[in-house]
Amino acid sequence: MKLLIVESPAKAKTISKYLDGKYTVKASVGHIRDLPKSNKSAIDIEGGFIPHYEISKGKEKVVSEIKSLAKRAEEILLATDPDREGEAIAWHIKEAVGLKNPKRVVFHEITKDAVKEAIEHPREIDENLRKAQEARRVLDRLVGYDLSGLIWKKVRYGLSAGRVQSPALRIIMEREREIRAFIPEKFWTITADVAAKEGKGDKFTLTCSEEPREEKETERILEIGKKEIWKVKGVAETEAKRSPRAPFITSTLQQSASSRLGFAPSRTMGIAQKLYEAGLITYMRTDSVNMSQVALKQIYGLVDKKYGKEYLVPRVYSKKSKNAQEAHEAIRPTNMLSELGGANDEQQKLYRLIWQRAVSSQMSDAKIMRTKITAQIGKGEIPFFYINGSRVKFDGWLAADPASRGEDVELPKVAVGEILKLIEMRSEGKQTEPPARYSEAGLVKELEKRGIGRPSTYASIIKTLEDRDYVEKISKALHPTDTGDVVSSFLENNFANYISDSFTARMEDELDDIASGKIGYEKTLSDFYKPFSKEVKSKDKIEKINNLGEADPAMKCPICKGGMIIKLGKTGKFLSCAKFPDCSGARKIAGEELAGPKETGEDCPECKKGKLVERDGKFGRFISCNNYPKCKYIKKNAELEKQNSTGIACPICRHGMMTERRGRFGLFYSCSNYPKCKNAIKAKPTGNICKLCGALMMEGTKTIPERCSDKTCPNHNPHKIAKTE
């Protein structure tokens, strides 16, 4: 028996079709080992930054199955993804299972030819690539652990910081401060509806070439314009070209999918992963704009046949980044002749976008005729008026990507010196606008421009900022929250060097140098961590940030009527009495009174030292120990528990009942014995127990009415089993 190991079950299914039963294909389902959570001792710093890995929770069964298959295998191939992460997964499988001499195979597309070609040319695991990924993981853990611990002490318990997320948050906050400091200026736009005096053509609208800053000047222009003669001053026609863009790399795919399809970067990468695993597109984590000769020949033939010879212009693109991996390929369909691909609507939309970009990249320029008509009023005492128009003379690459075309703006045929009839003239007062906040696509572009992160990390950076409530997306724009504002300000004031563009980009370059074997793992981490650790320790003496500034003097404490200060709470900024803890008066930031902790008269049964108080929480009032966070006891609300109970016993502890709760991400169901029992599932339990693994069955979808709550169990997605069978 021959064994081939990949990460994804979907990938395993696709590859199995091409191997004619010669290999048993097994999926590791992602990483099988990781560093222990929240444990600095997971890394032996003194010993040379040696990480101590452990089998990831729930992966014990997978490891056991791979071990069993490996014992009977005469040949073992590790075919994880073709990047650092994939190299690391391959190495972890080797180490965890104890494989003696596995071979590594890599393919950038999952097609029959690519898979067979890769199997014929196996290699050893690339230790440099693996070390680069390990260095990133260790570096991020050390930075996150040290910075987060300091922020817990000095700002608020439960906050976090990261090596790359913090510079990204800083960029968002820098733009936010520009917006706050922006002072709008008033101006007026003046437009005029006119028509050719001879009556040929419809009316068209001209715009004043200047935008007056004073109302008096606006009135002067209107007064003169309404009584003077309008005539055509000039008609200028210029031919312009619009060239196609290079095929997608990771960052440009995320940007285009965000602006064209409304997909968040993390969503785009998830959909692209499915397309890749199904063998429909090449690998989606790449910074190369190259395409193979096979793909180019397919495109040439397709363009010639579908659009015509005049539409074909073979092109070569180059990536300016010094770290671009030119041996890789751009993101493209594996079969350029197919315009459709994907199992669902989202996949089909993204596939179509990728197809259009790849095909149009080898097509001719679009020719655009731009026209500008200018009009003079009277003897020219006021600024001239104008209108711009454009029309496509030859669509070129826009034929393959019509969504990039835009609308034609046809202008009437007029001659220089021709008199125009004024129909209506008007003005509108406006204000200058501050710079726009970053969209997800805009932030990805900015991170790439500044060299912060790498293609594979952009989506996770933004998702982390959103998950930790440092930013929120409002109408496609990323707004920093109060918490994000305070955390970023703290880091900028105390660790400006470590979250600067230059430092972060330099660290990315050093990780690339580890991958290419230019520098060593231990030296890179040591050179960074020793001064960084010293810097963190030096900040231990700074005072805790309890006060974010004085509140508006008009805001008085609801209890003692004294002055108030701004503080940061779990749900954002609020106003606290300046005399706290002597006075517990508090208000919301807008001024509404906040009910403070209310004593119940009960002692805490957990720590035996505190008193139980009733508090306001994110999801309503609750009773807890007043020694929080040292004591995290929360008294159960028996009446609410009974009301929200499903009546289904917890299969883990067998004492509690599965109860409906609401968290950050909506409804979920967990054991009423929490935190002693932490059994929780996303969907409502049905009361049935899975016959395969013993976990609770839960409500599914129309196509899967019921499924297992355990993701590792085949009954979690039974329709996939049916298809396989």
Catalytic residue among 145, 276, 283, 529: 283
Q: How far is CA 545 from the centre of its chain?
A: 30
Backbone angles phi, psi at 572, to 5 degrees: 125, -165
Q: Which helix (H) or strand (E) holds 119?
A: helix 112-120
- What is the rounded distance in angstroms from the CA atom of residue 66 to the CA atom of residue 64? 6
Residue of 135, 42, 139 whose CA lies nearest to 521: 135
Task: Using alpha carbons, list the distances in angstroms from residue 263 to 117, 339, 563, 570.
Answer: 34, 20, 46, 29
Contact between residue 535 and residue 445 where contact means Cβ atoms under 8 Å apart: no
Quick one: which of 456, 498, 491 has its CA closest to 172?
491
Under DSSP, is residue 526 helix (H, G, I), strand (E, B) or coil?
helix
Tell me the CA distances in angstroms from 656 to 253, 485, 556, 639, 649, one per residue in order. Answer: 47, 41, 46, 15, 6
Cα dihedral 679, 685, 687, 689 sign: negative
165 to each of 287, 455, 501, 503, how far by Cα in Å? 21, 14, 12, 14
CA dist 686 and 493 (Å) reads 52
Residue pair 636/618 in contact (Cβ under 8 Å)? The answer is no
Using only C-alpha atoms, the chain has a radius of gyration, in whole angstroms, of 32
> How far is residue 77's CA from residue 4's CA, in Å, rounded to a whole number?
5
Would you say the C-alpha torsion 629, 632, 637, 642 has a positive or negative sign? positive
**Spatial separation of the C-alpha atoms in residues 707 and 695, rounded to whole Å:** 10
Integer angstrom CA distances of residue 575 from 563, 566, 615? 10, 5, 16
Q: How far is CA 189 from CA 183, 194, 379, in A?
A: 19, 16, 21
Those residues whose C-beta lies under 8 Å from the C-beta of residue 489, and which sit 6 or more positions away, are: 173
Q: Return the DSSP state at 399.
A: G
Residue 32 burial (CB < 10 Å; 0-12/13-18/19+)?
buried
- Positive/negative CA dihedral, 701, 704, 705, 706: negative
283 among known catalytic residues? yes
- The span from the CA of 23 to the CA of 3, in Å, is 5
Q: CA-to-CA distance for 139 and 605, rounded, in angstroms?
A: 41
What's the rounded Cα separation, in Å, for the pair 405 and 654? 63
Q: Parallel, antiparallel, or unpaired: how do β-strands 24-27 and 103-104 relate? A: unpaired
For residue 143, give the nearest of 129, 164, 169 by alpha carbon: 164
First to last CA, the chain: 22
Place of tokens 């939309």: 349
Q: How far is CA 254 from CA 149, 261, 436, 707, in A?
A: 33, 10, 19, 32
Pairing of strands 611-617, 598-603: antiparallel
Residues identified as active-site: 283
